[in-house]
Structure 1
């Protein structure tokens, strides 16, 4: 499966899943000056690439949430916070048949054992 990159909100066609094949929606910061503005997203970028890029890999969809101001402005909370329950970047949300069936914050992404368990859950 190919790793897809979109801006928030991701198109429905990109995040469609089946009963047997979940979609992993990966919430990342937007690139500014050639790199992700979120240092935690930069920390896991290589893990995300190795986990989701390639023919036999699960379906991953990176959705960039926008600038630092768009993500952090308390007076107008980012819509991903309400719709997907994303509080921190990076977060991976596992979708199956349009429903959220799990989530992995950075601590679970960098822990190979926890990430493997999350992917196969």
Structure 2
């Protein structure tokens, strides 16, 4: 099942990620779609792999769109601001340790299966049984 896009504000998403428990939380930031397709080639490559990676996992994952090209290029784009600090699309953010550690997988690394697997981690035994 494809991941669901969050309609929460950036501040609400930041608060949610920062209040995560001992289990990692993830945020996927993609370029917005035009006519049903992302304007970002790297995002188009990444979406099916990211969807498949999280399909049967119990992880907390939020997906957001950073906007059309003109919105994305603006310095005040909320996803470019702290704590997200996204510089390139797509970006997969992992928050662990009660928000003390923010890690990022960026651009072509997001759709590199080995790097994606290493970043997200293996499925738990419980997830493997599902």
What's the TM-score bracket when you normalise by the shorter of the two chains?
0.7 to 0.9
**Given the alignment, which residue of 4, 15, 21 partners 1:18?**
21
Q: Count how many residue pairs are aligned between Structure 1 and Structure 2.
A: 117
Unaligned runs of 5+ in 2: 123-130
Whether 2:112 is the aligned partner of 1:108: answer: no
Q: Which runs of 5+ in 1 are unaligned?
A: none
Cα gap change, 1:47 to 1:36, in 2 (>3 Å): same
TM-score under structure 2 normalisation?
0.74
- Alpha-carbon deviations, 1:16-75, whole Å to 9, x = none? 5211x2111001111221112222111111001101122x353321111122111013xx
1:35 aligns with 2:37: yes
Higher strand share: 1
Aligned to 2:125: none
What's the secondary structure of 1:98's corresponding residue? coil
Q: TM-score, normalised on structure 1?
A: 0.79
Q: Secondary structure at the match of 2:67?
A: coil
User: Any idea what SS the aligned residue of 2:10 has?
Assistant: coil
Kindly state the Cα deviation for residue 120 of structure 1 after the two structures are TM-superposed: 2.7
The structure that has the greater radius of gyration is 2
